[in-house]
Chain A
C-alpha cells in the first residue's frame, strides 16, 4: 500500500542554520509528491510539488526539495531558517486513480531557537 514516512517527529534548529526534513514514500509508479506547512491554528499551505522533470524543485518561502528515486525520498531543505518557519511540515503523495487523493506523512514539528 502507498505510504509516506517522515522519520523525524520533532526537529529543533537555530535561526540561520540550514534545515533538512526527511520524507520517504512507498509507491510503485512515479509519485506526485508535495510538501505542506501548517502554522499553529491554521490550515495547510502548499510549499512545493514534484511531478516529473528536474528532480530539484523550488518552492515558496525559500524552500526546495529534491526527489531521489533510488532512495524513494523527497527531502525538504532550506539554507537558512527564520524564526517564522517554526511550524508543522507534512510530506504527501497523490496515489493513482485520477483524483487528488493525498496520503500524508505524520508530520515533522520544527522548532526554531533564536
Chain B
C-alpha cells in the first residue's frame, strides 16, 4: 500500500482555470504538508495541517487554498491558475514535533499551466 498518495500525477491546464490536487496518507500521521518544487528543484513549504488545523501558512497567494476534511486527507485547490504556478507539488506527512520531519512524501503532481 502506498503511504502517501496524491492525484493526479500530471496536470496540464490553461491559465485562468481552477484545479485541485488530492492527497491521502494511510500512516495515521497527525500532520500533513504541501511543498512546491520549482524548475530549479528548489523546495519550499506552502502549508501544513495538524489534525485538520492549519499550522503553517507561508507566503502563498490566496489563490491557493488547502482543505483538510480529515487528518488523512489534505487537498490543494488552486484558483485562476497562472504560468508561474507551473511546478511539481508534493504532499507529505509526519507525526507532530520538531523531531519528526516529513517522513513520507508522495510522488508529486507535475502541474503545467499553458
Contacts and interface: CB of A to CB of B under 8 A. Distances in A.
Nearest to A102: B101
A102 B45 contact: yes
A104 B44 contact: yes
Contacts of A104: 42-44
Interface stretch (A20-28, A36-44, A69-77): A36-44
Main secondary structure of the interface of A (DSSP, over half): strand
A19 B96 CA distance: 33
Interface residues of A, number: 25
Contact of A99 (B4, B48, B107): B48
Interface in B35-74: 40-45, 48, 50, 55-56
Interface of A: 32, 34, 38, 41-46, 49, 51, 88, 90, 92, 94, 96, 98-102, 104, 106-107, 109
